[in-house]
Structure 1
């Protein structure tokens, strides 16, 4: 299912914030078309739906750039790589989009990225993946890198005296990224990684893997899951009576993770982007205002408060696209042309110090990630809410 969202969003928001903000007043504008692929259904819908709501909030915040209307066409890939690739091809060849954005997880994002690179269309990736090969020259990744975030876990472990850690994560590219990041950062810190257990996103039990972990008597456990399926190892640990420290990553900062995990995920420690605890940040942090503005607008657009980290990645993706479009237009290239796609790619990969809700973004051609230590804080789940750790 596909749909144009920016016109509807702008119309709904006009009464709230003023029509001129969205380019609705005055002469009709041309369009910069954004193709947005996400998983509204399937195993990653608990992530894909917030991404969609974040994009809608971005469209409400910035509806036009340089006299050109920003519009987007959304397609549900159902967390199916083949569907994501077909969606990317349709958006490029039939809808003539200028840039792609998506998706909810590594498999569909990598599939769409391959099509984007083949067609020479820039791609703003909002899943946590590194696009390989030529695709690296046509893409950037919005979320913080696994190494950056897992390093924060390891620093906390070292501070509290942890010497051994067991790992369990998804049996896919995300699980690999987290495990490799743990190995890279833990061993130099003097922390031994005892296990590398895996499970599929659709699995309903990880009892066998947890029994193997408990047999090693780790000081702590780190999980490499995301969204709703990310709660499964924590539930299994609680069922087996484990009471030691449990760590995870920014991929589990999600209301469905908290709901499904219940008491079993109380006390989980994880790194996340600053927006998750925006009201707890220092006033001197430049991210605080952007994050609070996002949270306020999100509630107006979606008629509910934001309860996860994922919507904000969609919003930051929109901010990056809008900033890139402004600079691409300054080259004289026209939307809807191959020249504009190249100009968008060049602008996107030269983004400098752009303040978003999750970080301050600086990108370089061929390098996926654009965030640094300013984009992470450590939090702990306390009575169903995330609390900032010192």
Structure 2
């Protein structure tokens, strides 16, 4: 493995991908880990025909499937479209009628807005606010006050990792009493560590690896998920598994299967 850090910078991600392809002659790239960087890398992998297994969620990384730029693009996390469907279903089941939205001001936030607003319309949820914030912002007070002025029943924060704590913390400080939803991009212990009591009661969807022990025995991925959890916790300690670690493990399983198939076909 060759590991490079793009520091969440799309330009750096493109440089890294081109270096891995041109200088290191890699057979496949696992990553980038965030949506803007994965989308930025599409041209480079299309030009070289190098498979990229992104660890980012947006469906726009691989869709539309007939697009030549995306022929070699794959990804492991669940699509934002799928998770938006789950979130809006939960909202309507809980009697939510109005929703405010605040997301990253990049491809992750835009993709989530596109998918969420589409499903909200289908579910007859009225979106009363649409705000953005940066991953490195230190204040979102203005955006939160705008959302709260519309008095929504719920607010969806479309962010990932620890930066997604800030809007929720601000909502609490400003006295918001409605339901707060987040995306599967927060499924990590770092989010809980940084957020602490400020993120108590968060509602969010996640992949099966995070709740592997709670899955029914009939669940098709329970055995594989439990195997990964056991391996991961043996190395890093109890309760350390995250959605992101599971996605990386899934990429390894995918590539292991692909390489075996390729070798059987006579590929070198």
CA RMSD of aligned residues (A): 1.4
From the two aligned structures, give the one with the greater strand fraction.
1
Which range moves more in the overlay, 321-330 or 206-215? 321-330
After TM superposition, the runs of 4+ consecutive aligned structure 1 residues lying more than 6 A away are: none
Q: Which runs of 5+ in 1 are unaligned?
A: 1-71, 335-390
- Counting matched residue pairs gives 263
Q: Are the counterparts in 2 of residues 123 and 138 from structure 1 also a CA contact under 8 Å?
A: yes
Using the TM superposition, give the Cα deviation of residue 305 of structure 1 relative to its aligned residue in structure 2, in angstroms.
Answer: 4.5
Q: Relative CO higher for 1 or 2, CA cutoff 8 Å, sep ≥ 6? A: 1
Aligned position for 2:133: 199
| Residue equivalent to 2:33 | 104
Cα deviation digits, residues 171-204 of structure 1 (max 9, x gap) = 0000011111111111111110111100000001
SS at structure 1 position matched to 2:118:
helix
Q: What is the CA distance between 1:240 and its match in structure 2?
A: 0.3
Contact 1:250 1:271 in 2 (8 A): yes
3-state DSSP of counterpart to 1:168: strand
The equivalent position to 2:153 in structure 1, one of 202, 219, 227, is 219
Distance in 1, matches of 2:3 and 2:248, equals 12
Q: Is the 8 A contact 1:298 1:305 kept in 2?
A: no
Report which of the two has the higher share of helix: 2
Q: Secondary structure at the match of 1:153?
A: helix
User: Take 2:182 and 2:84, find their aligned partners in 1: how far apart are those partners?
Assistant: 8
Structure 2 counterpart SS, 1:140 = strand
Question: Scaled by the length of structure 1, what TM-score is found?
Answer: 0.65
Determine if contact 2:14/2:40 at 8 Å carries over to the other structure.
yes
Alignment correspondent of 1:299? 233
Of 317, 324, 330 in structure 1, the residue corresponding to residue 264 of structure 2 is 330
1:118 pairs with 47, 72, 75, which one?
47
Long gaps (5+) in structure 2: none
Deviation at 1:81, TM superposition (A): 1.7
Aligned partner of 1:267 in structure 2 is 201
CA distance in 2 between partners of 1:299 and 1:91 (Å): 31
CA deviation vs aligned residue, 1:259-284 (integer Å, no higher than 9, x gap): 12111211111111111111111111
Partner of 1:85: 14
**Paired residue for 2:86?**
152
Give how far 1:258 is off. Answer: 1.0
Residue range with higher mean Cα deviation, 219-228 or 126-135: 126-135
Provide Cα deviations, 1:198-238, integer angstroms capped at 9, x if missing partner.
00000011000000001001011111000000111100000
Contact conserved, 2:31 with 2:54, CA < 8 A, in 1? yes
TM-score between the two structures when normalised by the length of structure 2: 0.94
